[in-house]
Amino acid sequence: MGGARRRLVELLREKGIRDMAVLRAFDLTPRHHFVPTGVRHRAYEDAPLQIGSGQTISQPSIHARYLEILALQGSERVLEIGTGSGYQTVLLSHLVAQIFTIERIPALFTSAREAINTAGATNVSMLLGDGTVGWREYAPYDAILVSAGGPSIPPALVEQLAEGGRMLVPVGSKDEQTLKLVTKRGGDVETKDIAPVRFV
């Protein structure tokens, strides 16, 4: 699988990903551990794959773009909303100091926990629950990554952003969302549209 993983890293480079730390995270993360056995042969394609419970694992180039936009330095505490397969969680584990991740579907929570442990990530804390309320106990966060679309930006998440913190969140209807970058500066909240996206 190592060769396939390196080909994926090359592909991400061809697609314009420049952040060396992000490319290294992809090289270190075994995506085949995060997809069901039936689609394991497709694990290193740049394509979304079904992971059960009506959810998908995003295509790697989307994850890479997200992580590059956040411009992580390595010392951050990050909140991830929607653990899903746990793949993005482990990518993050190579890029930041600490990750707090929330998943609302019990079956996904259980399989993600196993996959995250198998991948050897030790800086991850997991919670089964509603991500829109965040995880107040460990706030504030330097970055928040929301992996599920919603009609608006959850106020609780804005509240849990640290000063200078950044949040990526898809906002819109069921079929069409806009990826927004929310930055907190001096009590003000700036919102910038990044790109049209489609999330579950």
Active site residue 53: no
β-sheet bridge partners, residue 195? 179
CA 167/CA 70 separation, integer angstroms: 8
Could you identify the residue written with the tokens 């990826």? Answer: 179
Which residue among the candidates 58, 93, 111, 147 is catalytic per the annotation? 58
> What share of residues in the chain are helix, strand, coil (percent, to 5)?
35, 30, 30
Contact 60, 31 (CB under 8 A): yes
CA 82/CA 129 separation, integer angstroms: 10
The two most distant CA atoms of the chain are separated, in Å, by 49
Nearest to 73 by CA among 96, 45, 40: 96
* Number of H-type helices and E-type strands within the chain: 6, 9
Q: Which residues are catalytic?
A: 58
